[in-house]
């Protein structure tokens, strides 16, 4: 059984920064894709950023230039550094891990950007 646990969310003022972390534990085979998604109230879940096992990254246009995704393969951990945060970044952020045995999601972590 694989568990995915996120941390690092909270309340931040516009223009501020937050770093989200996502750690996976359990019986994990080869991880080939890690990603962060977010879902705002009344909206569909959207992909924010992703990184493959070869280090290829991709970002949503709305966060490009502000966010940075990184992974620690040895620890099965993925991070999302969010900078210059805007009120429209407010959402529940979810971590996704895809490995040979399946795809797993974290429980979600609230990020609120407000003055």
39-92 confidence digits (pLDDT tens): 999 999 999 999 999 999 999 999 999 999 999 988 889 999 999 999 999 999
For residues 80-106, average pLDDT: 96
Instruction: Look at residue 30 and tell me whether its pLDDT is greater than 90.
Output: no
Q: Which of 112, 76, 108, 78 is nearest to 68 (CA)?
A: 78
Note whether 97 and 103 are within 8 A (CB).
yes
For residues 87-111, average pLDDT: 95
Distance CA 34, CA 58 (A): 11
């Amino acid at each position: 059984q694989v568990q995915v646990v996120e941390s690092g969310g909270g309340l931040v003022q516009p223009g501020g920064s937050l770093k989200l972390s996502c750690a996976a534990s359990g019986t994990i085979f080869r991880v080939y894709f890690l990603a962060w998604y977010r879902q705002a109230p009344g909206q569909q879940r959207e992909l924010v950023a992703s990184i493959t096992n070869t280090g290829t990254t991709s970002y949503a246009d709305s966060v490009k230039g502000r966010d940075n995704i990184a992974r620690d393969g040895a620890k099965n951990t993925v991070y999302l550094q969010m900078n210059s945060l805007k009120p429209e970044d407010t959402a529940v952020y979810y971590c996704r891990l895809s490995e040979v045995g399946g795809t797993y999601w974290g429980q979600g972590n609230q990020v609120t950007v407000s003055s």
